[in-house]
């Protein structure tokens, strides 16, 4: 069976094959979702190298847990749930480590990828960079649940129902978490808006 | 800001995400037409959304490069079908083991301390019991330091006891 054939399969078919230790099927799943998993992880940890490590751990965990996936929910719902939980766990671990080592979190961890622009004035570049740094700081201030909802919405553009399925809560709760998350960010960024 | 603005502010986030039904959406739009504060609030949310998209689009672009598959395949091959030591989870488990060992060590130290303390306290009021065997009769001496009392039992025979 060639790669092109595999890429045409649905998630469910690929998972059934991966459950039977078909690594080619699992490779297609990884290729299909790795950029999304990395992006969501980045939204929580704000570091691309850490996001890559988390992505790797997520897929290994997924592969080991494939037998637990019964297919009652969509595969990506399950995958995103694992991703946000592992990223939050990773953040907690990093915070504990930094608390023990007395390292300034912002200086060490945060990296801000600057969006590619054609020709940006230096003063605009510096201003944008400051805003992006502040935005990352503001996201760090959110509660874990608010952060999950915000990242899934802003990064993956998921619907409230999809976020509710991932976070195992009601649509109303998602709406409320997003409102409070954005309000907190708005207050933090007010001088720049 | 009007009194009912709080209600609409909560709806503006969902309005931005296009998650309101048509009636709610219409209600929000009517309110926005007559409330400058809420329009400003929505404008702020839109600008934040714009900044977020700027950052996340470049993250998404970078995420396509440098696939993690080779590392995953290597790790799966190395560990076979057995359990993989997930670095994050393994770190948590190790931390839990470390914490429980520390708690157990503290409990042992505390119980040792209490046992020693109880032993010292008991000895402060110690009672001395001496048993003296003699030809006439065995004698037992009991001395309580706390009350400074001495009691002596003399056993004349097996069944009778006299004390002084």
Q: How many domains does chain B have?
A: 3
Give burial (CB, 10 Å; 0-12/13-18/19+) of B140.
middle
Mean pLDDT score of chain A: 86
Query: Looking at the predicted structure, is the pLDDT value of residue B137 above 80?
Result: no
Distance, in Å, from the CA atom of B4 to the CA atom of B37, rounded to the nearest integer, reads 12
Comparing CA positions, the residue from A33, A31, A113, A46 lying closest to residue B58 is: A113
Comparing CA positions, the residue from B138, B64, B57 lying closest to residue A52 is: B64
Query: Looking at the predicted structure, is the pLDDT value of residue A25 above 50?
Result: yes
Q: Pick from B56, B62, B76: which is nearest to A23 by CB?
A: B76
Residues B118 and B130 in one domain: no
B-contacting residues of A 131-160, CB under 8 Å? 131-132, 135-136, 153-155, 159-160
Residues B135 and B103 in one domain: no
In chain A, CATH 1.10.1740.10 sits at 1-111
Q: Does B40 touch chain A (CB under 8 A)?
A: no
Query: Looking at the predicted structure, is the pLDDT value of residue A108 above 60?
Result: no
Q: Does domain A1-111 have CATH number 1.10.443.10?
A: no
pLDDT of residue B49: 93
Cβ(B11)–Cβ(A152) below 8 Å: no
Q: Which residues of B1-31 are buried (b: 16+ CB within 10 A; e: fewer)?
A: eeeeeeebbbbbbbbbbebbeeeeeebbeeb
Give burial (CB, 10 Å; 0-12/13-18/19+) of B102.
exposed
Comparing CA positions, the residue from A83, A8, A17, A27 lying closest to residue A51 is: A83
In chain A, CATH 1.10.10.10 sits at 112-193
Tens digit of pLDDT for each residue in B29-82?
A: 999 999 999 999 999 999 999 999 888 888 877 777 778 888 888 888 877 644
Locate A189 and state its tokens: 């960024």
Q: Pick from B19, B58, B67: which is nearest to A115 by CB?
A: B58
The number of helices, as runs of H, and strands, as runs of E, in chain B is: 5, 4
For residue B14, what are the domain limits?
Answer: 5-63
pTM value is 0.68
| Sheet of B149-155, strands arranged across | B127-132, B139-144, B149-155, B161-163
**In terms of residues, how long is chain B?**
164
- Taking CB atoms and an 8 Å cut-off, how many pairs form between chains A and B? 133
Minimal Cα–Cα distance from B92 to chain A, Å? 8
Q: Does A32 touch chain B (CB under 8 A)?
A: no
- Average pLDDT on A32-52 reads 91
Cβ(A129)–Cβ(A112) below 8 Å: yes
pLDDT of residue B125: 59
Which of A23-27, A51-55, A91-95, B9-13 is predicted least confidently?
A: A91-95
Query: Looking at the predicted structure, is the pLDDT value of residue B84 above 50?
Result: no
Residues B117 and B136 in one domain: no
More confidently predicted of A26 and B164: A26
Residues B119 and B144 in one domain: no
Query: Looking at the predicted structure, is the pLDDT value of residue A79 above 60?
Result: yes
Locate A187 and state its tokens: 């207050």
Range picked from A130-139, A143-152, B109-118, B136-145 for highest mean pLDDT: A143-152
3-state class (DSSP) for residue B128 = strand
Task: With beta carbons under 8 A apart, name residues in chain B contacting A175.
Answer: 10, 13-14, 19
pLDDT of residue B123: 64
Distance, in Å, from the CA atom of B67 to the CA atom of B84, rounded to the nearest integer, reads 20
User: DSSP assignment, residue B34?
Assistant: H
Q: Does A170 touch chain B (CB under 8 A)?
A: no
Could you give phi then psi for residue B24, rounded to 5 degrees? -65, -40
Query: Looking at the predicted structure, is the pLDDT value of residue A153 above 70?
Result: yes
Residues B58 and B11 in one domain: yes
pLDDT of residue B90: 55
DSSP readout, A1-38? Answer: --HHHHHHS-HHHHHHHHHTT-HHHHHHHHHHHHHHHH
Q: How high is the ipTM of this complex?
A: 0.80
Q: Does A11 touch chain B (CB under 8 A)?
A: no
Distance, in Å, from the CA atom of A158 to the CA atom of B21, rounded to the nearest integer, reads 17
Distance, in Å, from the CA atom of B153 to the CA atom of A97, rounded to the nearest integer, reads 69
Residues B54 and B20 in one domain: yes
B68 and A63 in contact by Cβ < 8 A? no
3-state class (DSSP) for residue A118 = coil
Bridge partners (DSSP) of residue B130 are B141
pLDDT of residue A127: 74
Locate B152 and state its tokens: 């002596």
Distance, in Å, from the CA atom of A42 to the CA atom of A120, rounded to the nearest integer, reads 25
pLDDT of residue A118: 52
Distance, in Å, from the CA atom of A125 to the CA atom of B38, rounded to the nearest integer, reads 30
Task: With beta carbons under 8 A apart, name residues in chain B contacting A159.
Answer: 19
pLDDT of residue B61: 77
Cβ(A153)–Cβ(A178) below 8 Å: yes
- Average pLDDT on B138-162 reads 72
More confidently predicted of A8 and A60: A60
For residue B78, being part of any structural domain is answered with no
pLDDT of residue A54: 95
For residue B41, being part of any structural domain is answered with yes
Q: Which CATH number fits domain A112-193: 1.10.10.10, 3.40.50.2300, 1.10.1040.50, 3.20.20.60?
A: 1.10.10.10
**Could you tell me the end-to-end alpha-carbon distance of chain A, in angstroms, rounded to an integer?**
54
User: DSSP assignment, residue A148?
Assistant: H
pLDDT of residue A37: 94
Distance, in Å, from the CA atom of A26 to the CA atom of A15, rounded to the nearest integer, reads 7
pLDDT of residue B65: 74
Percent of chain A with pLDDT over 90: 59
Distance, in Å, from the CA atom of B132 to the CA atom of B32, rounded to the nearest integer, reads 104
B59 and A39 in contact by Cβ < 8 A? yes
pLDDT of residue B164: 47
């Amino acid at each position: 069976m060639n790669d092109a054939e595999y890429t045409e399969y649905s998630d469910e078919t690929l998972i059934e094959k991966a459950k039977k230790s078909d690594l080619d099927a699992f490779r297609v799943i990884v290729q299909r979702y790795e950029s999304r998993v990395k992006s969501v992880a980045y939204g929580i940890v704000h570091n691309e190298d850490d996001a890559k490590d988390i992505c790797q751990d997520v897929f290994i965990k997924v592969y080991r847990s494939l037998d637990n996936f019964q297919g009652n929910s969509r595969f990506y719902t399950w995958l995103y749930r694992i991703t946000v939980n592992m990223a939050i766990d990773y953040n907690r671990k990093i915070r504990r480590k930094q608390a023990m080592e007395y390292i300034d979190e912002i200086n060490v961890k945060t990296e801000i990828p600057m969006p590619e622009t054609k020709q940006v004035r230096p003063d605009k570049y510096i201003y944008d960079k400051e805003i992006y740094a502040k935005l990352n700081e503001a996201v760090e201030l959110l509660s874990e649940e608010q952060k999950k909802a915000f990242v899934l919405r802003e990064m993956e553009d998921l619907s409230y129902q999809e976020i509710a399925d991932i976070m195992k809560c009601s649509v109303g709760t998602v709406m409320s978490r997003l409102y409070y998350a954005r309000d907190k960010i708005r207050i933090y960024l007010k001088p720049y808006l | 800001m009007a009194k009912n603005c709080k209600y609409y502010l909560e709806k503006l986030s969902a309005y931005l995400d296009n998650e309101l039904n048509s009636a709610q959406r219409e209600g929000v739009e009517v309110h926005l037409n007559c409330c400058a504060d809420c329009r400003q609030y929505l404008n702020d949310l839109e600008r934040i959304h714009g900044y977020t998209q700027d950052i996340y689009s470049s993250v998404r672009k970078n995420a396509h490069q440098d696939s993690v598959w080779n590392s995953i395949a290597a790790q799966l091959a190395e560990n076979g079908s057995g359990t993989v030591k997930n670095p994050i989870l393994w770190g948590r488990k190790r931390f839990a083991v470390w914490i429980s060992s520390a708690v157990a060590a503290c409990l042992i130290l505390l119980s040792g301390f209490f046992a020693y303390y109880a032993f010292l306290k008991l000895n402060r009021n110690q009672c001395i019991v001496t048993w003296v065997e003699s030809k006439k009769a065995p004698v037992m001496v009991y001395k309580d330091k706390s009350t400074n009392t001495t009691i002596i039992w003399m056993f004349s025979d097996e069944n009778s006891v006299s004390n002084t």
